Amino acid sequence: MSTQLTQHSSKAFLKKVGNFLIALLLFVLMLDPTNNITHLKDKIFVLTLCFHIVFFRPDWRLLPHIVTIFFIITVGYIIAEMQLSSIDYDFLLGVFKSMAPLSLLLWVRYYNVIKLAIIPVCITTIIIVALYTAINASPILELALFNYSNKHNDIVMLTHRNWLGVPIFGMYYRSIVSFVLVFYWILYSLIIKRSLPFGQRIVYGVLAILMTMAFLVSGTRAMMLTPLFIIGVVLYNRIHNSRHARYFFYPILFIAAVSFLILIFLLATQKGDLSNAIKYEHINSYIELFTDNPQFLIWGQGTGTKFYTAGFGRVTTQTEWIYIEILRNYGLMALGFLAVYTYPLFILFRHRNNNYNWGLGLTYLAFLLVAGTNPFLLSSQGTSMLWMMYSYIIRFKEKNHLHLTTNI
């Protein structure tokens, strides 16, 4: 009996240590996504990986997902060398390093990663809001932050833009996109869970307000519209079963959805916006590249390769059009990437009768759509999103005694 208690206590202790390490790694990824401030990302990742290798049994069901990603990246590099393409080896190494934390998928079954991300997101959100408030009050601090960010791989991007005649001063923190699943969790808990303790409800309410502010001050269209979309999803979850929803809520939802789509269209086609002009020039350069090199559509140009884009007016390794970038680099192998990233979406919509699953699926779909025009899918932000999604679907399936297929 004492031996069993000792074993139980040991497992509980190891689980707490694992929780701490995962939360710490998430915090470092969110606070310092470029690894230029603390220089701790690689060290904490290796420590976390070694800890799990020693003390926890891996879940081999997710090995095919990890192997798929690294197989594609490696084959892409070999293709680049065989084609004698111009390769940026620093960028190539960065791709492998960014995707290395994907190996932790073998142990995410032991954790509720979305819940573990709440404190890291909370701290980083407070820092973002405080920093934005400070630079608004001090032009000198704004200039200092601008110069610091330029020297540290643009961890923060400051922009002065004009949206449909409205001047916008934005401060885009690179990791903010990885907050969306936590934002959904918090809103769902606030609006749907009636049993939430009063004190926790107050904390979640304050955090929801701060996170909404962090999204809105980002100055980017996608991040400013994302919280509005998620709020709409949660409100629909809350009201759609109401007897009066058909007569009151559905018409309001329809008007809001149409207005939302019109706003997106107006922002995406706004004349004189530099960001739009750059993106459209990228498209023209991709068309020219694929016209001159149609073989890239089949096997790709290769990992870490460069091409000229009129959007930047120079040779580059990557643009904001991440899905086109994956196609350029890997050709038809890009389908493997998409399979790994969309597999959680397939599981959630397959079990969409669960209200939480339905909303989480739409939130993750919004992330994937936003990723289409932002280069963070193959980065630590994209990896942390995969941890959260795969940990949830595995735990959901095990809780409901469902079979987890490894087919991707």
The SS3 call for residue 187 is: helix
Query: Residue 27: exposed, middle, or buried by beta-carbon count in 10 A (0-12, 13-18, 19+)?
Result: buried
Give pLDDT, residue 241.
67
Query: Which sequence spans correspond to the domains of the chain?
Result: 1-56, 60-110+278-408, 117-270
Tell me how far apart the alpha carbons of residues 93 and 350 are, in angstroms, rounded to a whole number: 37
**Cβ 321 vs Cβ 276: under 8 Å:** no
Query: Residue 167: exposed, middle, or buried by beta-carbon count in 10 A (0-12, 13-18, 19+)?
Result: exposed
Q: Which residues contact 34 (CB under 8 A, 6 or more apart)?
A: 152, 153, 154, 155, 174
**Cβ 20 vs Cβ 4: under 8 Å:** no
Q: How many CA atoms lie within 13 A of 174 on its CB side?
A: 24
Q: DSSP class of residue 220? A: -
Question: Among 53, 140, 32, which residue's Cα sits nearest to residue 384?
Answer: 32
Give pLDDT, residue 407.
45
Give pLDDT, residue 294.
94
Distances (CA, A) of 31 to 59, 164, 204: 29, 32, 20
Tell me how far apart the alpha carbons of residues 100 and 81 are, in angstroms, rounded to a whole number: 22
Question: Among 342, 360, 329, 366, which residue's Cα sits nearest to residue 65?
Answer: 342
Q: Which two tokens stand for residue 354?
A: 């669960």
Q: DSSP class of residue 325? A: H
Question: Among 27, 187, 47, which residue's Cα sits nearest to residue 117?
Answer: 27
Instruction: Find residue 367's DSSP bridge partners.
Output: none
Collect the ranges in the chain with pLDDT lower than 70: 1-8, 150-154, 162-166, 241-250, 253, 260, 263-275, 401-408
Size of the chain, expressed as the number of residues it contains:
408
**Cβ 162 vs Cβ 180: under 8 Å:** no
Give pLDDT, residue 391.
95
**Cβ 286 vs Cβ 324: under 8 Å:** yes
Distance from the first to the final alpha carbon of the chain: 44
380-399 and 334-350 helices cross at what angle (nearest 10)? 40
**Exposure letters 133-145 (e unless 16+ CB within 10 A, then b):** eebeeeeeebeeb
Residue pointed to by tokens 């519209």: 225
Residue pointed to by tokens 């909404």: 212
**Cβ 375 vs Cβ 176: under 8 Å:** no
Distances (CA, A) of 325 to 153, 275, 286, 301, 356: 20, 18, 9, 10, 32
Give pLDDT, residue 267.
61
C-alpha dihedral sign at 345, 350, 351, 356:
positive
What φ, ψ does residue 353 adopt, rounded to 5°? -65, -25
Let me know the angle formed at the C-alpha of 123 by 141 and 393, rounded to the nearest 5 degrees: 135
Give pLDDT, residue 247.
64
Give pLDDT, residue 408.
42
Give pLDDT, residue 168.
74
pLDDT in tens, 346-400: 999 898 888 899 999 999 999 998 888 777 788 888 899 999 999 999 999 888 7
Tell me how far apart the alpha carbons of residues 213 and 167 are, in angstroms, rounded to a whole number: 17
Tell me how far apart the alpha carbons of residues 12 and 48 are, in angstroms, rounded to a whole number: 17
**Cβ 49 vs Cβ 103: under 8 Å:** yes
**Cβ 164 vs Cβ 270: under 8 Å:** yes
**Cβ 387 vs Cβ 181: under 8 Å:** no
Give pLDDT, residue 260.
66
